[in-house]
Structure 1
Amino acid sequence: MTSPESDVSRGLTELPAGFERLAEHGALLDAVTAALEQVEQELAETVANTDRLADDTSRHLLEAGGKRIRPLLTVLSSLLGQPGVGTGQVGEVPAAVRSAAVVMELTHLATLYHDDVMDEAPVRRGAPAAHEVWGNSVAILAGDLIFARASLLMSSLGPEAVAIQARTFERLVMGQLWETVGPQEGEDALEHYLRVVSGKTGSLIAAAGRLGALFGGADETTVEVLADYGEKVGLAFQLADDVIDLTSASATSGKVPGTDLKERVPTLPVLLLRQAAAAGDEAARRAVELVDGPLDTEAQLAAAVAAVAAHPAIDEAWAITRGWSDDAVAALAPLPPSPVKDALVAFAGYVVSRDA
């Protein structure tokens, strides 16, 4: 697994506009780097278990890596509450913020165990999915165990934090439920999908922004701004993943291109493709035939991926995705100028410019 420090350094390289400004202020950069290193250590400590099977399964996805965007947003949001944020002079990130960051990542990890079982996904983060190694029942229980550890840690932060986690967890479950049952009769498929993404992804990233600002000591207005920003960044992040699944090489994305197609998961590009086909677009119709046809062989999947990736629906999907990123930036307008605000703006740009 890549070390936390190198993960942070790579992120700083990928976010030049805001993080170059952040790097000009050594105290800010040191605070972010140190906090994320501590979060990584605390993640490992929190999932550790004396039972060998529980320990192995709980560590499986954690040790496979990840972007850690939820902890990063939690830490960045917390800096807005420090008195010296405008000049880049800040102190150590509070322990409560680091704990909240750990809970956000653990909650995300737990959902991945469950999602992979429901989607029958063979690979996650370049490694075999947990259910491929230990079976469905053990994978589900591993996710439950991680949820339990996250909840125990959150309880140490007080009743407000527990309530935020509970509301977030409800939204996560509802998002998964909506995805499982599909759009109701007469419901627009694209609107339904955005509601699913808001529940499954936006809710947790919104909670990361809210908790970071809250435990960083920010005022109520800033807390609400960061929750709104996180929700919109979360949608942009997931929609970008939809496109990347069809356009990125497996070496960079950590999964086989077209995984969502193979698992018959509706995503933004395919929904737009279906709209185009319904409107009489012949190329879209042919692509939809491939998407809806057999995808059992590598050749069949590759042909479907190529057809979708070559259609203008991909460009439209990117335009919608960047629109959510722009909305996230607009949500930051009430905040005064600061290098942290610059970093948050750049973070919104990063989630729609990455290739994995």
Structure 2
Amino acid sequence: MQPTVWDRTLDAGLSAGHTAVEEGLLRATRSDVPFITEAARRRLSARGPRLMPLLVLLAARFGDPDAPGVVPAAVVVELTHRATQLHDEVRDETGVRRRGPGAAGPAPDANWDNTVAVLTGDFLFARASHLLAGLGPQAVRLQAAAFKQLVTGQILETAGPPDGHDPVAHHLAVLTGRCGSLTAVSGRLGAMTAGAPPAVADALDHYGERLGVAHRLTAEADTARSADALSPDRRPTLPLLLLRSRGGANGDQELYDLLTAGPAEWERHAEAVARLRAHPVLAEVRREAVRQAQAARTALSPLPDGPAKSALDELCRAVVRRATADGD
């Protein structure tokens, strides 16, 4: 992932940085055991933008982008991100979910796949920790705090909102932990390793947190386009929470029940997805994504003007464009 950059110096710097990060990821996933190398690299080559390394590289432009710790910091956050994805998929039984409507029972090798996924995630965490140690105690503390926030978000999600607590506010708190923590620490680590002033690191931390939540909300709105993404064993998302909060109004409870039903209702699942695509709750989710993206843009205000700030702003604008593409 890379924003549209019209500054040749920044464009060249980001390209060189991304190349160095990819080389660092290859080194970090090399093992004496070929199976481990293959499993780790297969995960890193999976679809998905390298948003976290990009934030590290852009944050570093507010200091010395060629400082020796910048690229290792970018590698660390990507390894951590991919490791948490692997553990999340096992926790949420994604392997079963991806088989889609019509499949009966778990895959024959589900236990094997889950075991390999967990251990591969552990391997990526170990490699990230090894690199992190070379960045010094402050970097270790920052990453530990971010990981604590991420796990707290996962626990909050698993526990659900307490009685009497607004489930939408609870969900946004979950996303701040699960999705905002790594994007936030990416900005802070990039600034820190480049020697940028603390005020810059603070601004980039807040920016990254809001941007991470905005990205996740746009993804949750996009799930309405895919029946597979709405299969019953997935995590709660804001569209579903908003549907549930509306209760029986206009058949919303029936729609919610269909979208979260078990295999017996999968034949009607496509119909339910079509109904959700036209439902007002998606516009509400998109508006919240735009609010989060605008909060990220506001966090950039203290930063000095220049190509890096413009690129960070463009990332926010891209979220807004995506969120409003099919809006009302």
Corresponding position of 1:350: 318
CA contact (8 A) 2:258 2:265 kept: no
CA contact (8 A) 1:258 1:305 kept: no
Deviation at 1:38, TM superposition (A): 1.0
Question: Please, what is the CA RMSD of the aligned residues?
Answer: 2.4
Deviation at 1:212, TM superposition (A): 0.7
Corresponding position of 1:187: 165
Q: Which consecutive segments of 4 or more residues in structure 1 shift more than 4 A?
A: 123-126, 295-298
Deviation at 1:315, TM superposition (A): 0.5
Corresponding position of 2:288: 320
What aligned pairs does 1:172-183 form with structure 2 within 5 A after superposition?
A: 172-183=150-161
Q: Which residue type is aligned with residue 119 of structure 1? A: D
CA contact (8 A) 1:273 1:284 kept: yes
What aligned pairs does 1:84-163 form with structure 2 within 5 A after superposition?
A: 93-122=66-95, 132=110, 134-163=112-141
Corresponding position of 1:80: 62
CA contact (8 A) 1:239 1:268 kept: yes
| 1:197–1:260 CA distance, 2 compared to 1 (3 A) | farther
| 1:296–1:144 CA distance, 2 compared to 1 (3 A) | farther
| 1:94–1:125 CA distance, 2 compared to 1 (3 A) | farther
TM-score, normalised with respect to structure 1: 0.83
Question: Gapped runs of 5+ residues in structure 1?
Answer: 1-7, 83-91, 248-255
User: How many angstroms apart in 2 are the aligned matches of 1:161 and 1:125?
Assistant: 36
SS in 2 for 1:95: coil
Q: Deviations over 1:80-138 (max 9, x none)?
A: 124xxxxxxxxx53331111010000000000110000111128999xx9x85942222
Corresponding position of 1:211: 189
Deviation at 1:350, TM superposition (A): 1.7
User: How many angstroms apart in 1 are the aligned matches of 2:227 and 2:70?
Assistant: 36
User: How many angstroms apart in 2 are the aligned matches of 1:308 and 1:148?
Assistant: 41
Greater alpha carbon shift after TM alignment, 39-48 vs 311-320: 39-48
Deviation at 1:352, TM superposition (A): 4.1
TM-score, normalised with respect to structure 2: 0.89
Deviation at 1:312, TM superposition (A): 0.4
| 1:134–1:37 CA distance, 2 compared to 1 (3 A) | farther
SS in 2 for 1:351: helix
Question: How many aligned residue pairs are there?
Answer: 316
Q: Which residue type is aligned with residue 116 of structure 1? A: E
CA contact (8 A) 1:75 1:93 kept: no
| 1:125–1:72 CA distance, 2 compared to 1 (3 A) | farther
Corresponding position of 2:25: 43
